[in-house]
Structure 1
Amino acid sequence: MAPEHAHLQQAAEWFAVLADPPVSDQQRQAWQQWLAARPEHAAAWQRVEAISSQFARLPAATHRRAAAQALRHSGRSRRQVLGLFAVLGGAGLLAAAGQGRPLRAWLASERTGTGQIRDVRLADGSHLWLGSRTAVDIDYSASTRLLRLLQGEVLIDTAADPRPLLLDTRHGRLQALGTRFSVREGDGSSQLSVFAGAVRIEPSSGRAGQVLQAGHQVRFGTDGISASAPADPARQAWSRGVLLANDRPLGDFIAELADYLPGYLGCDPRVADLRLVGAYPLGDPERILQALAGSLPIRINRRLPWWVTVEPLAG
């Protein structure tokens, strides 16, 4: 489970303190007490440290010494101690894998980095667009055209071919039925939006599948398939470098914009339900943040150069 917003903010504030020497013994002791107080704090620190490794690092010796002192007085079991050492010491491994990106994604047939959008013409003539931080394995054989979405979002315009075109996510398998569709993978489910033709869905849970027609979208995961809703034009607009918002919650908009920025971009729950309308060029995410701050009762808080949150004007 992802750390809560409040814990992430606390972790970011502590990171800013420790990264700005001189750090007093009292400050270091207070950080150690905070870190050892709750497992959620350790998880939040892991997230901050993993992201920070792309930009700046505290000396490894500082982590080891502080962790040893904090754990010595925390009263945790050996298993818990080892787990928290892994949190503090393992962030370098997470960074090496791209902020926790699975190694398999780095070895994918096609992938994009932060802020990149790519379009690829496949061997059968199908057109594949990859959104930011996306990885796809392509496995064509004499009998099947198979794509594996390892992370991120894709838009596919299929070409006529006697072989079935299948797309796998960790939440299920999709079969294109002469179609144009997009798939966005999330932690708990994948979102399918169909713009032409139809797509057959087979959830990995083994629950009954269904065929989704053009003009509709659903989420599918371990709980089955959600009720269908009208297909969101935003789910293909990104392929043209545009982030659409049509009466969209700010929190949802920020979560998608975060894929196009390095570091961390989060939204305070107190403003997450503000509604947003507009079309925003993804080529300049910083300009989008400035536009949001100029049109909504929010402020852009930069606790660190790579840690940005959208917060209420007051508080």
Structure 2
Amino acid sequence: MPDLWHGAGRGMTPTDSAPSFRVLQEAAEWFAVLRAPAVPPGERQRWRVWHDADPAHQQAWRRVEAISGKFEDLPDDDKPTAHRLLDAVAARRTQRRRALKMLTLLCGTSLGAWAATQSTPWQAWTASHHTGVGERREIRLADGAVLWLNTGSAIDVDYGSQLRRVILLAGEILVSTAPDTQSPARPFVVDTAEARLRALGTRYAVYQEDGASTVAVFDGAVEVRPLAPGAEPLIVRAGQQSRVTRNAAAPIAPADLARESWSRGLLIAENMRLGDFIAQVSRYRRGYLGCAPEVADLRIVGAYALADTDRVLAALADTLPVRIQSTLPWWVTVVPR
């Protein structure tokens, strides 16, 4: 069972950042204890004391519950009030999505356009094309351009009389443009939450993150225009990449080959931090995959097949001073050996 006071998250408040790796691990360990067929006497009370001792513990517990998708083996009277409130919020969100779908059918596309600005899950649900966790797709557009969607990605395609437009709603795409079939030629652009990316005859990848998007160019060039008024545009050429916010594009850096290799089912690591590597692998797995801070700065080199992430993790354990710890079937961490 977890140490009651270990990793108490001293000084954290409900408005602080996400719980630490250690506190998340404690929450997962408690979840494993309480879902056992026979819970040892006193463990529920010890869990409650742990849970109530720090807001960080409560935040971590909610994270574990959210990933589990259900409260396993916990009776209703053991759910903290905050968790029952979360159930109510989730139910309201489900009702709202159903209502929005019905209203869209009744009122036409304008309401759907509004809803798409309010919720990423709604956007992915109604997107022209999307992929699930671990899935990749190749799509050929009307003009001959080819798009590859990475895991957990969603796009809308809007080809009009003046513009060939792809909207990246979530995740990552690789684009190989083609000459326009119309004359005069329409510009080809990818719109993200932060910028408009105009292709200048090119092959490039775009990765949508929280608050930023990364564009890596492998052939030709891309004009990057952040959305903020007055923001300076940037030309990113073959072999280069830039991370873009709404206000500015970061200085040019060498293109990361991993931004393209996933389309071939590979994750290429070139002296990559283990923590960053695990964050990428986690995109291809359901559940939680984390990396202990003690080993996060170890360096990784190699090419890893994304079709079997368990094998990737086993290879790490064979070549690095780490071991793979499965606290729950869906909660896996890389920790020091």
**Could you say whether these structures have the same fold, taking a TM-score greater than 0.5 normalized by the shorter chain as the test?**
yes
The residue correspondences of 1:204-215 to structure 2 (distance < 5 A) are 204-206=227-229, 207-215=231-239
Looking at structure 2, the residues matched to 283 and 217 of structure 1 have their Cα atoms a distance apart, in angstroms, of 26
Rounded to whole Å, the distance in 2 between the matches of 1:34 and 1:155 is 46
Answering whether residue 161 of structure 2 is matched by residue 142 of structure 1, we say yes
Which of 34, 39, 42 lines up with 1:18 in the alignment?
A: 34
More strand by share: 1
1:190 aligns with 2:213: yes
1:113 and 2:121 correspond: no
Q: Equivalent residue of 1:232, what SS? A: coil
Q: CA deviation at 1:214?
A: 1.5
- For residues 67-105 of structure 1, what are the alpha-carbon distances to aligned partners after superposition, in whole Å with 9 as ceiling and x for unaligned? 3xx55xxxxxxxxx5xx54346556789999xx961221
1:292 and 2:316 aligned: yes
Residues 177-223 of structure 1 show CA distances to partners (whole Å, capped at 9, x for unaligned) of: 11111011112321110111111112234432212111101111145
* Residue matched to 2:298: 274
1:66 equivalent in structure 2: 78
What's 1:7 paired with? 23
Instruction: For 2:35, give the aligned amino acid.
Output: A
Q: How far 1:265 moved relative to its partner? A: 0.7
1:260 and 2:260 are equivalent in the alignment = no
Alpha-carbon distance between aligned partners in 2 of 1:44 and 1:272, rounded to the nearest angstrom: 20
Quote the Cα distance in structure 2 between the aligned partners of 1:103 and 1:154. Answer: 19
CA contact (8 A) 1:43 1:87 kept: no
Contact 1:154 1:183 (8 Å CA) reproduced: yes
Indicate whether 1:201 and 2:224 are aligned. Answer: yes
2:222 aligns to what SS in structure 1? strand
CA RMSD of aligned residues (A): 2.5
Structure 2: tracts of 5 or more residues without a match: 1-16, 98-118
**Aligned 1:10-49 pairs, distance under 5 A:** 10-23=26-39, 26-49=42-65
| Residues 227, 247 of structure 2: 8 Å contact kept | no
Higher mean displacement: 220-229 or 253-262: 220-229
Decide whether the 8 Å contact of 1:218 with 1:227 is kept in 2. yes
Rounded to whole Å, the distance in 2 between the matches of 1:154 and 1:258 is 17
1:78 equivalent in structure 2: none
State which of 149, 154, 159 in structure 2 corresponds to 1:130: 149
Give secondary structure in 2 for the equivalent of 1:255.
Answer: helix
CA distance in 2, matches of 1:34, 1:88: 22
CA deviation after TM superposition for structure 1 residue 123, in Å: 1.2
Deviation for aligned residue 1:262:
1.4
2:260 maps to: 236
1-structure distance, mates of 2:220, 2:280: 26
3-state SS of paired residue (1:23): coil
- Name 1:86's counterpart in structure 2: 85
Give yes or no for contact 2:244–2:250 (8 Å, CA) kept in 1.
yes
**Does the aligned pair in 2 maintain the 1:51–1:95 contact within 8 Å?**
no
- Conserved 8 A contact 1:46-1:88: no
Task: Report the equivalent of 2:241.
Answer: 217
Equivalenced residues, count: 294
State TM-score, norm by structure 1: 0.85
Does the C-alpha gap of structure 1 residues 92 and 36 become closer, same or farther in structure 2, counting only changes over 3 Å? farther
Asked whether the 8 Å contact 1:42–1:87 carries over to 2, the reply is no
Gaps of 5+ in 1: 72-80
Please, what TM-score do these two structures have when normalized by structure 2? 0.80
Contact 2:120–2:169 (CA<8 Å) still a contact in 1?
no
